[in-house]
Structure 1
């Protein structure tokens, strides 16, 4: 099992001046601890599950470009881009640029979008759910076509591209890995099986996550896609301390390394390949030696 980290919160003491140095240190500490990937949310307002919309929020791809300059090995992606935020041709160009300038470390995390508040606040159209999923499927088709170097005109219901040129091409071949976020059984997991390289499921507990994997496996079988080709990822919360038990302002009580390994091990047992953790105390440098030990212990699982 591999571990990634999502950074969803930037309102550290001294923000906004403190944001860049703190985030840069988090990125370097994450890489040094052996994490395989680093993720930011693709939102324009802070989301209600974390705090009020007035909290600091950075634009996702500019942030990933900054993180690419702070690191040299760790993979970089959004968890996840709302399909409504950017025209698909420009999105593919943006992710390709990140991939080229980072030396092949870009990941495309994408989903159907949900945060109506920020859409309306910034004047971004927010179509009904059915249309958002239609746009998501067309965007996945466009991404795969552009990364394949196919310049044939694309004529979809929602998007029309006369010449989907993409030069330079991505360094990652055949393309940057595509991760689809969400656990909807009829549409999202079917699109994972049809188009994506990875799924991302909320931590519903081992049995809840296993049930989603079973649905994905059924879609794969019906579409003729090897289930083993799909990287299974789960997003979960993790707080670490030497002794465990301390209450965190965000993220619940802290765990010891052993407790964290047990928690992640239960997800590994059901076939999870990557646990992407949100850490309430990720701006504390003392956490990263503990996280490095968790990485070491879960790697064989």
Structure 2
């Protein structure tokens, strides 16, 4: 095993890695798998940022003591597509960080410098842990494949990362506990997702049209009850639109709760982004500072709370709730 101070390795899978018993202390290969309910929730939870209030004015406010350095840092964030404008860069970054936080609880970006140019690149959180206050990247043994020579076996490496060049984001603890509890039920539901097929009577030559005494309706109701109890705090409805047991009042309260959780995470990510950009900027200007916040064009938690109170007092209808929540 080799220990080195180096830039992180950007790898995202386990196809060529040899994850052994000692590696599983720091690495969970299941972090790369996406179960049905959890994957669908992650997509819905982060989608608010991809649809965020497009074409309706400025989305974010940036307050900095060095606008040129701030612009340089924002433009240095490596993106899969060419984006123009700070709003689009920040919006896309919010969406990307949210996807990583809901799945892994962490999100990382590393600052690379090349010929006086800055490149901020997303970094897989798999294998990155804190040991005695120092962030390391645990890289298991792996095979490095080459087209012009034989494949090369690379030994296990512990890379000590430079925290001053690492942007780190974490899920707020209340949301983290909420999602952890929800995901436990999701895992159980997905594990038994197709179990009802085992209760179908098998056709035989003597009885080509068998009947089953298994109550599939009660099976579905039991699964739905488990799902709605698991998602009570997050407010997610699982894209279920056809339930006759749900009222409009129920759906509106759920939608408000879901949006409130999204906005809570949005505001927390903006606070962390401000802190991390300031930290990175201090490498180039000691007194540098920047604050990124939502503009008045974006919805707020206080507005959602007021809508919920009016709904409880029957001062507005369901349409107003739906229009507001789906507008952004």
Band of TM-score, shorter chain:
under 0.3
Relative contact order, higher structure (CA 8 A, sep 6+):
2
Please tell me whether Structure 1 or Structure 2 has the larger radius of gyration of its CA atoms. Answer: 2
